[in-house]
Amino acid sequence: MFSAFKRLGADSLLYAFMNVGTKLIAFLMLPIYTSYLSKAQYGAVYLIDQWTSMLTFLVIFGTDSALSFYYYDTDDKEKRLLYVRNVMYFRLFVVAILFLAVVLAGPWIAGALFQEPRYVDLLYISIATLLLDTIFVMATTVLRFEFQTKKVVIWTLVKMLLVSVLSYAALRWFAATPEGLLIGRLVSSALVFLLMLHLTVKYMVWRVRFDVLKELLAYAAPLVPTSLAFWVIANVSTFFIQRFASLEEVGVFGVALRLATVITLITSGVQMAWRPYSMSMKDRPESRALFAKVYMALLLIGAFGLLLIATASPWLVETFFKPEYRDAASYIPFLSAVTFLNFYYLVVSTGLFLTKETGYISRVFTLAALLHLALNAVLVPLWLSWGAVAASLITYIVAVAFIFRKSQQVYPVPASWKKMALVLVGTLLALIVIVYVQQAPLADGWVLAGWGLFAATLFASRVDRDLRRPVRTIEDENAQNT
């Protein structure tokens, strides 16, 4: 038992290191890319990234979860290899269909996506890169299933470094255009494919069995609606902005979204460690009281981090980006709040995981995706990027509220929803004050008004009492109240 937990802890740390490493590399390269690309050009790159994300969703089609289930359902190495090959060829078949669609309707797709058919070459390059990345993802997935964590981390970081270096080289010496950047990515994916060929060649041996494929897809298909819902929430705003604004606006919004993910440098490690920690604690008498403390502590840490991001955003954008990207600084704090809530729902949904009520999460996010679409349709035509920001924030607040409420119903935790709501509202108001001061002709010192409002919220809610109170006391009080 101890050895299993030890391996889990070690693997979690390595994956956390990988996530932080890849995000740091992406964060450091963003100012370099935008120094070569105009707002419209970076907008085209960001749109093609969202397009590729959609295609990746279609290629995977829930087969990652299906493969995970059936891979561990047997100890027969040949049968495991059979499952891997069938998933591989299903994904390659989907890529082939998408490639054919791009070849036949590329100019029309480019016109609909970019409102400029001249960007059709980006579609061709992206589909070629998707083919190579599909094979890479399959190889690292099997390595992960075989608990070869170090290899997964090394290959992922090597690929990310190659993408960064070759994309920069392509922009500087080949063409300072979106096509140049994507060619750098394509070449790096091709190099990684060649380097990993000794690992992947056995997965590409033709051995498709339709009974096995049917079994895999029967497991995978029910998972698709939930995955689609998450994709809609994460990506659809960009397409609304392109439709009602311009590629320039998409470029600024894309930079803001990329920078907003900096908060995941803090949350990614906690996210990977939380599920095994909460599962290991579920049978302890003090678990609910400890969970309540964690809920509040993470909310406070996240709120403090959001205020720091809001305060530093103008300096960050002005220092590392061209002046034309300056407007991104206003969006970053609120998009960071969205990113934090996307992490926080995993924490406050602990009761649903412990009681095996996770289907509720799928239903909530399916409805949240519909809400997100409706909000974007209404708000983006009115306020453009600010409409997209508001739509994302409202969607996640509603989703987290419903998930927390249901989790409390099936697994009550002595955490005050009123105090948590007060802290969240106080944080958002503080962000509004800070951003308003930064945009209005006011002295920088007025930013402290936002911090003062946040401090007043903490004082009014007295959350410090919950954090300082002994665990046993909270548990006993909860038992008396119930």
Per-residue model confidence as pLDDT tens digits over 284-307 = 777 788 888 888 888 999 999 999
Residue written as token pair 């099936």: 410
Residue written as token pair 């829930």: 62
pLDDT band at 468 (very low <50, low <70, confident <90, very high): low
Looking at residue 470, its pLDDT comes to: 66
Looking at residue 386, its pLDDT comes to: 96
- The predicted model gives 174-197 an average pLDDT of 94
Tens of pLDDT, residue by residue over 151-168, are: 888 999 999 999 999 999
Instruction: List, in order, residues 6 or more apart from 109 with CB less than 8 Å away.
Output: 101, 102, 120, 123
Name the token pair of 142: 């099997």
Angle ∠(142,147,148) on CA atoms, nearest 5: 80
Query: How far, in Å, are 15, 27, 153, 335 from residue 20 at the CA level?
Result: 9, 10, 11, 19
Looking at residue 403, its pLDDT comes to: 94
Q: How far apart are CA 376 and CA 256, in angstroms?
A: 17
The DSSP output letter for 170 is I
Residue 361 has pLDDT above 50, yes or no: yes
Name the token pair of 353: 């995981």
- pTM to 2 decimal places: 0.85
Looking at residue 478, its pLDDT comes to: 47
The identity of residue 51, as a single letter, is W
Residue 31 has pLDDT above 80, yes or no: yes
For residue 291, the number of C-alpha atoms closer than 13 Å in the C-beta half-sphere is 32
Q: How far apart are CA 408 and CA 356, in angstroms?
A: 14
Looking at residue 179, its pLDDT comes to: 95
The identity of residue 187, as a single letter, is V
Angle ∠(127,135,172) on CA atoms, nearest 5: 55
DSSP string, 308-328: HHHHHHHHHHHHHS-GGGTTH
pLDDT band at 282 (very low <50, low <70, confident <90, very high): low
Q: What do you get for the CA distance between the two ends of the chain, in Å?
A: 34
Looking at residue 9, its pLDDT comes to: 58
pLDDT, mean over the chain: 87
Query: How far, in Å, are 65, 192, 410 from residue 354 at the CA level?
Result: 20, 40, 9
pLDDT band at 433 (very low <50, low <70, confident <90, very high): very high
The 3-state DSSP class for residue 270 equals helix
CB 60 within 8 A of CB 138: no
Which of 47-61, 107-121, 203-217, 391-405 is most confident? 391-405
Share of the chain above pLDDT 70, in %: 91
Q: How far apart are CA 231 and CA 62, in angstroms?
A: 13
